[in-house]
């Protein structure tokens, strides 16, 4: 199972198309499409190839916006930032329509911020920005204690509706102040290795309650990506990697 998951399923990248019906989502943003890319864990040649495939898949759908939801780089790999710059380079064709946030791996990769700056992507760490008619509230990693949700959401409310909160760890939705129409996360890897029936023997911290997919009844409606890459054993089972294409409607 581990060998199959490494050689086959970890490479079986799928496009997860979802329509999310959101209370209070404005009519003038009806049909707004977000490509969500999370957890590429770029650090070496293998992860770089997978990330390039994910970016190409996202761009092929011509989304309105792209969100890089954290752990794009993998800590501990000196060539990681260089690989990130190359893999994300094609997204430069979407100026003003790409944002990135911090995951727990970015915290240890201090040289990732200059990469995003050179690419022209806002790196939202406890900061909000208004782009493409939507306010994006990027909150720092909860796992490493850098999240400032109150301050970030205050910034976002000052910029106006609709607000989409971006927080790498999905279980932190329970701590999100009110005001966002949607929160987007990664981190959980969907469990990464799951037995038939959905049982996953291991979960990430702060990625165990909300594991994958859409949770409309969470304190703030939440979508959790299974992510693109892996951590630990480079294997997936019954849990293919995904690029999410989310269509937001009232």
For 136-145, write each residue's pLDDT tens digit. Answer: 999 999 999 9
Q: What angle do CA 81, 17, 127 make, to 5 degrees?
A: 45
Give dist(CA 172, CA 127) in Å, integer: 17
Q: How confident is the model at residue 172 (pLDDT cuts 50, 70, 90)?
A: very high
Give dist(CA 229, CA 216) in Å, integer: 26
pLDDT digits (tens, 9 = 90+) for 35-92: 999 999 999 888 999 999 999 999 999 999 999 999 999 887 888 899 999 999 999 9
Return the pLDDT at 1: 86
Our separate counts of H helices and E strands in the chain read 5, 12
Q: What is the mean pLDDT of residues 204-213?
A: 94
Give dist(CA 33, CA 58) in Å, integer: 11
Q: Where are the domains of the chain?
A: 2-249
Return the pLDDT at 78: 83
CATH numeric code, 2-249: 3.60.21.10
Question: Among the residues of the chain, which ranges form H helices?
Answer: 2-7, 45-60, 80-88, 112-119, 149-159
pLDDT digits (tens, 9 = 90+) for 99-125: 999 999 886 656 889 999 999 999 999
């Amino acid at each position: 199972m581990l060998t199959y998951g490494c050689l086959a399923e970890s490479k079986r990248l799928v496009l997860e198309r979802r329509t999310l019906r959101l209370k209070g989502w404005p009519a003038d943003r009806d049909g707004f499409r977000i490509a969500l890319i999370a957890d590429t864990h770029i650090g070496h040649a293998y992860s770089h190839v997978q990330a390039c495939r994910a970016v190409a898949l996202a761009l092929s759908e011509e989304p309105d916006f792209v969100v890089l939801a954290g752990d794009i780089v993998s800590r501990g790999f000196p060539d990681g930032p260089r690989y990130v710059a190359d893999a994300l380079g094609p997204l430069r064709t979407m100026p003003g329509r790409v944002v990135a946030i911090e995951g727990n791996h970015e915290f240890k990769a201090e040289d990732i911020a200059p990469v995003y700056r050179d690419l022209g992507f806002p790196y939202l760490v406890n900061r909000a920005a208004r782009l493409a008619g939507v306010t994006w509230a990027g909150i720092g990693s909860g796992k490493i204690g850098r999240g400032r949700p109150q301050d970030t959401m205050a910034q976002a409310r000052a910029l106006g509706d609709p607000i989409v909160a971006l927080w790498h760890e999905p279980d932190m939705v329970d701590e999100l102040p009110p005001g966002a129409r949607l929160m987007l996360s990664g981190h959980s890897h969907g469990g990464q290795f799951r037995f038939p029936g959905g049982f996953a023997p291991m979960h990430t911290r702060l990625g165990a309650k909300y594991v994958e997919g859409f949770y409309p009844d969470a304190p703030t409606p939440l979508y959790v990506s299974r992510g693109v890459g892996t951590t630990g054993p480079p294997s997936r089972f019954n849990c293919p990697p995904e690029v999410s294409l989310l269509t937001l409607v009232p």
